[in-house]
Structure 1
Amino acid sequence: MEIDFDEVLDDIHIDEQTVKQKLEGLETEKSPGPDGISARMLKELKSQICRVLVDLYMTSLTEGRLPQDWKTANVSAIYKKGDKTNVGNYRPVSLTCIICKILESIIRCTNFIRNS
């Protein structure tokens, strides 16, 4: 199946209610990404930052670009089990920016609704 990303992104409209719902649903125990912005901070400031995030998301979609910081991840090796000197006994965990995760979630939900 081929996806036309121009079509997918052009028709997405993000509103304050959607962003506020995503912010309210954040798990505050999660670690922040490389930008250092925690889920707790975003959740507690949702009323103050909601409009700014909507504008930022819509600009990103319109221009077809993401801020460079959103493309960065902190990668850590997490031990599973067995010999700790064996690299195969570790798995990578990537911490990405929560603000970008919210946008990704909105896009996934929008596409799911369209394809249902």
Structure 2
Amino acid sequence: SEDVRKWLKGLAPDKAAGPNATSPRVYKNLSTVLYIPLYTIYQRMFQLGQWPSSWKHSAVCPIFKKKNPAEYTNYRSISFIDVPSKML
């Protein structure tokens, strides 16, 4: 559980939120109360061998690379996932 607490405290608050729109700043500011419930959830996930379906979703955003912006081949995609899912 201490690893979860340390990870939450070390989050970069200015990073993008995932599909649930909860900013990493919220997780960081509430780290002292969230780390035990999150640790419990992670332990249960490992026991059951299951990943929560809501944590399987991501927000995909195209990022322009170079040259002509009208061509789709000049973009790469990035996926934003929720902070609790990213921790694992």
TM tier relative to shorter chain: over 0.9
Q: What is the Cα deviation at residue 100 of structure 1?
A: 0.8
Tell me how far 1:27 sits from its aligned partner. 0.8
Tell me whether 1:35 sits opposite 2:20 in the alignment. Answer: yes
Corresponding position of 2:45: 60
Structure 1 stretches of 4+ moved >2 Å: none
Q: 2:69 and 2:50 mapped to 1: Cα distance? A: 41
Question: Is 1:23 paired with 2:15?
Answer: no
Relative to the length of structure 2, the TM-score reads 0.95
Greater Rg by CA? 1
**Counterpart code for 1:90:** Y
Distance 1:90 1:98 in 2: 25
Structure 1: which amino acid aligns with 2:50? R
Partner of 2:36: 51
Offset from partner CA, 1:17-60 (integer Å, 9 cap, x none): 11111001111111110011211000000111111001100011
Task: Count matched residues.
Answer: 88
Higher-helix-fraction structure:
1
Q: Secondary structure at the match of 2:17?
A: coil
Q: For structure 1, which runs of at least 5 residues remain unmatched after alignment?
A: 1-15, 105-116
Partner of 2:68: 83
State the secondary structure of the residue aligned to 2:61: strand
Question: For residue 72 of structure 1, what is the amino acid of its counterpart?
Answer: H
Output the CA distance in 1 between the equivalents of 2:22 and 2:53: 15
- Percent of aligned positions with the same letter in both sequences? 30
